[in-house]
Amino acid sequence: MLLDVPINIDTTSKYVIVSQHRMHGYSDKSRWLASMKEEVDCFIQSLNKKWLHVGAGWGVILDDANKLKVLGVNYVNENSKIAKFVDGNNSNLWHGYPADLKRKVKDIPPISILNKWRGEKIIKKHHISRIQRGVTCTL
Amino acid sequence: MHPLRITILGDFWDCQIYRGRLYLWTMDGRLLTYKWDEFIESLCVEKELRLALECGFCRGDYLYNPNFELLFSDHEIVKVLKLKFEELSKRTFEFQIKDLDKYLYGEQENPLKTLCADSDIYNNHLYVATDFGLWQTSVHRRSKKYPVSSKPEKVWDGRLLSLKSSSNGRLALSAGDDGLFEFDINDRSYFKNTYLNVEFKKIERNLFQLNKRHSFLSNWNYSSIYSTSNVDESYMMLFGWGKNEMKEMELVYKKLLNESELFQLSGNTNRSQLSWGCDNKIYKTSISGGIDVIDYTQKYVLEEDTPAFTDIQHIALQPWKGDVVSGGVAYFGVIIECENALVVMQDDNDFFNIPDVATRWRTYPRSRRYENHLHVISEDRLDVYSFNHDYFRSQEGKKIGIRYREKIQYNQGYRK
């Protein structure tokens, strides 16, 4: 896997691992800590499970104990366990980054996706509420 | 003094209580409206405990009545009343949702068809913040099919984290990194004049962006707004009422005060965790576990000689149960939402810990009859707590909890 080079996911979708969200030195960008393979797998899961909403998707990485794994950090180095994926030009060319739920309202997953995660026992009801209210939430 | 409690088991998302009706939003997309006062009447208790039950759950205003002042100056009478509340607090009132069927006023599909971030009721209208904007719809309708109108109207597209109505029809809207907004429900021209004069950004006809700085929670200190942030410094936007050249009352924006400016006199060097305000109180928690309190006097806000902020006090406490993530104020005390519990600091210096992690909690200080309620929704239940110690305490000089004042009805805006 190479940085900034589109990878074919299926017949219609491509995914780019963006260097700005991988390398140090971009002070306003969140940064992946998960491996590049984990990042792509996280996106594929989001696509397959239809964790999508109006040109954006959200994903998580679960560890062996089925707990949410830290997948990156925001620009002030706080851990993030939720990824956001964006189809920037509505052309099925996606990229993703660790979401900053407290600082960026647009990074908050919609309630429909949070509710699906509750259904899959990934998060609990109070997590949904805290995420949606922008309240500090330890996942 | 322990609170009373009624538990209703079920998978709920949100609740509101208004004019004798309890509204419950379920996770499976229903909105249930119950005849709350009738339900309370139906509870079996001895005749001697009926007064405490009624006051506790549906007549919160009753014992605040200044006519009882003489009665309450008699310690024996107060003692007897307190014993009744104490006795009732030992009782278990736990119900399955089907137990309330008899008091169901109406069941309908959630009119917004989505779970909200926050909601509030003002003057028979429900205001709802959702992922796809701010909506309003009428409540307390006669229709049993639709106690809440099934035709909500969109007010604004902006995504909001929380909202809070004032007693005179202003709605404070917190939109995270998009800032703090205000919607004037009554669409009054003098608000617009004030806001255009100070160059708040006009978004819609009666909706303005007051500040671009981060806000996840906001509340009313009378006419002023306290905006709480968990990523940046919190701030207060000071408004007061003055007279214009025509001798008409008009709303005046004075200035913005940062949390650090507000608390600079406290001498407390502990790093702040979170601060919030409501009516005459502003609170700030610190990592060491204590809490700073400031008294705010609205009538001095436009005066230069008399300070609007006084009585900064520090109350040392045990360390919080995890980080403080949010907070609120009611007459009966301060509500502190910690990472792993909800803590109620009562004005009688008692603490009440609710160990469950709350999905949502609500108080109703602008209500007329439910101002002593704390509603807590957790994974499998709604707990309706009723705090009753505050009736017996002087409202002057209270450090914990807002001061009870007789409520003036602005355009029927107060919750009955």
Quick check: B133 and B154 in contact, CB under 8 A? yes
Average pLDDT over every residue of B238-260: 88
Residue B193 makes CB contacts below 8 A (sequence gap 6+) with B250
> A116 lies in a domain?
no
Write down the pLDDT at residue B411.
41
Find the helix packing angle between B75-89 and B50-57, rounded to 10°: 80
Whether the CB of A110 is below 8 Å from some CB of chain B: the reply is yes
User: A52 — phi, psi (to 5°)?
Assistant: -125, 150
Cβ contacts (< 8 Å) between B360 and chain A: which residues? 129
Residue B36 binned pLDDT confidence (cut-offs 50, 70, 90)? very high
CB atoms B177 and A105 under 8 Å: yes
Q: How confident is the model at residue B320 (pLDDT cuts 50, 70, 90)?
A: low
**Domain assignment present for A59:** yes
Q: If we measure between CA atoms, which residue out of B137, B130, B162, B154 comes closest to residue B226? A: B162
B247 CB neighbour count, 10 Å cutoff: 6
Question: Is residue B410 over pLDDT 60?
Answer: no
- In the three-class reduction of DSSP (H, G, I as helix; E, B as strand; rest coil), residue B199 is classed as coil
Asked whether residue A2 is assigned to any structural domain, the reply reads: no
List the single residue in B with minimal CA-CA distance to A54. B132
Q: Is residue A91 part of a domain?
A: yes
Phi, psi of A130 (to 5 degrees): -65, -40
pLDDT tens for each residue of A29-82: 999 999 999 999 999 999 999 999 999 999 999 999 989 999 999 999 999 999
B159, B343, B326, B301: which is closest to B234 by C-alpha?
A: B326
C-alpha Rg value of chain A to the nearest Å: 14
Residue A8 corresponds to which tokens in the numbers above?
């074919």
Q: Tell me if A129 and B359 make a contact (CB, 8 A cut-off).
A: yes
Q: Is residue A74 left, alpha or beta, with left meaning phi > 0 and alpha meaning psi from -120 to 50?
A: beta
CB contact under 8 A, A103 and B231: yes
Question: Is residue A104 less than 8 Å (CB to CB) from chain B?
Answer: yes
Phi, psi angles (nearest 5°) of residue B313: -135, 150
Question: What's the first-to-final CA gap in chain B, in angstroms?
Answer: 26
Contacts of B28 in chain A (CB under 8 A): none
Report the residue of B12, B130, B177 to disrupt the A interface, i.e. the one with the largest count of A CBs within 10 Å.
Answer: B177
The tens digit of pLDDT for each residue in A6-29 reads 999 998 999 999 999 999 888 899
| Closest C-alpha to B184, from B246, B229, B235, B134 | B134
Calculate the average pLDDT of chain B.
90
DSSP states along B141-153: -S-SS-SS-S--E
pLDDT in tens, B159-193: 999 999 999 899 999 999 999 999 999 888 777 77
Give how many domains chain A has, as a whole number: 1
- Tell me whether residue A132 is in a domain: no
Q: How many CB pairs under 8 A join A and B?
A: 75
To the nearest whole Å, the CA of B344 is away from the closest chain A CA by 18
For residue B178, list chain A residues with Cβ-Cβ distance below 8 A.
105
Q: Residues 6 or more apart from B79 whose CB is under 8 A from it?
A: none
How far apart are alpha carbons A33 and A80 in whole angstroms?
A: 9
What integer pLDDT is reported at residue B12 of this predicted model? 98
Joined tokens for residue B247? 């001798």
Q: Mean pLDDT lowest for which of B31-40, B53-62, B98-107, B270-279?
A: B270-279
Per-residue confidence band for B20, with pLDDT thresholds at 50, 70 and 90: very high
Q: What is the pLDDT of residue B407?
A: 61
pLDDT of residue B270: 54
Question: Which two tokens mark B1?
Answer: 């003094």
CA distances, B393 to each of B53, B114, B149 (Å): 19, 42, 41
Which of B213, B324, B325 would you mutate first to test chain A, the one with the most A CBs within 10 A? B325
Chain B residue nearest residue A123, CA to CA: B379
Question: Quick one: pLDDT at residue B413?
Answer: 46
pTM of the shown model: 0.94
Q: Is the pLDDT of residue B194 over 90?
A: no
ipTM: 0.94
User: For residue A59, what pLDDT is reported?
Assistant: 98
Q: What is the pLDDT of residue B19?
A: 96
Chain A hits for B216, Cβ within 8 Å = 102, 133-135
What is the spatial distance between Cα B114 and Cα A128, in angstroms, rounded to a whole number? 13
How would residue B269 be classed by pLDDT, with cut points 50, 70 and 90? low
Given a cut of 50, whether residue B197 has pLDDT beyond it is yes
The answer, for A116 touching chain B at a CB cutoff of 8 Å, is no
Contact A136 B357 (CB under 8 A): no
A132 vs B contacts (CB less than 8 Å): 115, 117, 131, 161
CB contact under 8 A, A133 and B216: yes
Comparing B411 with A129, which gets the higher pLDDT? A129
Please indicate whether residue A128 or residue B264 has the higher confidence score (pLDDT): A128
Chain B residues touching residue A137 (CB < 8 angstroms): 325
* Chain B residue closest in CA terms to A105: B176
Query: Residue B271 — very low, low, confident or very high, per pLDDT cuts 50/70/90?
Result: low
| Smallest CA–CA distance from A112 into chain B, residue | B114
pLDDT beyond 50 at B412? no
Residue B414 pLDDT > 50: no
Residue with tokens 């990194």: B177
Q: Which residues share a beta bridge with B184?
A: B170
Predicted confidence (pLDDT) at residue B391 exceeds the cutoff of 60: yes
Q: Is residue A74 part of a domain?
A: yes
Q: Which residues of B touch A103 (CB under 8 A)?
A: 176-177, 214, 231
Q: Please give the residue range of the domain that contains residue A56.
A: 7-107
| Portion of chain B with pLDDT greater than 90, in percent | 65
Residues of chain A contacting B357 with CB distance shorter than 8 Å: 124, 126
Structure tokens at B15: 């609740």
Segment among A91-105, B55-69, B158-172 with least mean pLDDT: B55-69
* Amino acid in position B132: F
Residue B370 scores a pLDDT above 60: yes
- Whole-angstrom distance, CA of residue B11 vs CA of residue B28: 8
